[in-house]
């Protein structure tokens, strides 16, 4: 696997096919935890971490269990089971082994258990026929794309809170949804980007 193809995969996951703004996966934490930049970064890092690990584990389960038994059709159910147990385990492990990391990521981890971006990345890895290394890179960079999007969006929302000239009917979630749409349009502009 050449260096260019890694860059191309990473750029694709972060900008061109951003999980939130282009693929529309993982919208609920994107809207729910983006009120301040501090929590947004925490959530983004937690998602990045879980997406990377989930890609790895799901790929192994697929190759070791589902393909030999010819059970590819049950992929979605199995992945949900794997991811939710995995997140629980990571939470427990972090609490014991890395209390500092647990305090910054811990409260967001249970929210990710059923995050569709995590399930999405595991399924897309199989759909696109990625090998193990590609899957992990795609998972981590997909998470970084999530981090970029939620960080930009939380900045916009902090700014919106301060500017008082939002019409009364648009305060809070409505204006957040409108600005999320505009941000998504902006990211659509990356669709022309290609690395040969």
Residues that bind other proteins (CB under 8 A): 61, 65-66, 69-71, 74, 77-78, 81-82, 85, 88-89, 92-93, 95-97, 159, 162-164
Kindly tell me which of 66 and 147 has the beta carbon lying closer to other proteins: 66
CB of 70 to other proteins, least distance (A): 7
Tell me 73's DSSP state.
G
**Cα gap 100→165, rounded to integer Å:** 40
Kindly tell me which of 21 and 94 has the beta carbon lying closer to other proteins: 94
Let me know: does 29 contact 115? Beta carbons within 8 Å.
yes
Backbone angles phi, psi at 128, to 5 degrees: -85, 0
CB of 46 to other proteins, least distance (A): 18
Let me know: does 16 contact 7? Beta carbons within 8 Å.
no
25 by DSSP, 3-state: which?
coil
Let me know: does 54 contact 86? Beta carbons within 8 Å.
yes
**Cα gap 26→70, rounded to integer Å:** 29
Kindly tell me which of 15 and 90 has the beta carbon lying closer to other proteins: 90
Kindly tell me which of 25 and 94 has the beta carbon lying closer to other proteins: 94
């Amino acid at each position: 696997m050449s260096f260019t193809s890694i860059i191309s995969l990473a750029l694709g996951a972060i900008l061109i096919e951003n999980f939130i703004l282009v693929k529309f996966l993982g919208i609920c934490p994107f809207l729910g935890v983006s009120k301040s930049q501090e929590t947004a970064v925490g959530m983004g890092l937690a998602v990045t971490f879980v997406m990377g690990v989930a890609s790895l584990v799901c790929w192994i389960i697929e190759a070791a269990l589902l393909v030999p038994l010819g059970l590819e059709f049950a992929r979605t159910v199995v992945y949900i089971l794997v991811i939710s147990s995995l997140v629980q385990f990571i939470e427990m492990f972090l609490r014991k082994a890395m209390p500092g990391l647990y305090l910054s990521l811990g409260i967001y981890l249970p929210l990710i258990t059923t995050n569709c971006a995590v399930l999405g990345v595991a399924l897309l890895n199989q759909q696109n026929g990625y090998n193990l290394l590609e899957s992990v890179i795609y998972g981590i960079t997909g998470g970084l794309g999530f981090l970029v999007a939620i960080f930009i969006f939380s900045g916009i929302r902090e700014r919106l809170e301060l500017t008082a000239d939002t019409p009364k009917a648009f305060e809070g979630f409505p204006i957040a949804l409108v600005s999320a749409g505009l941000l998504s349009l902006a990211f659509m502009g990356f669709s022309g980007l290609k690395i040969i």
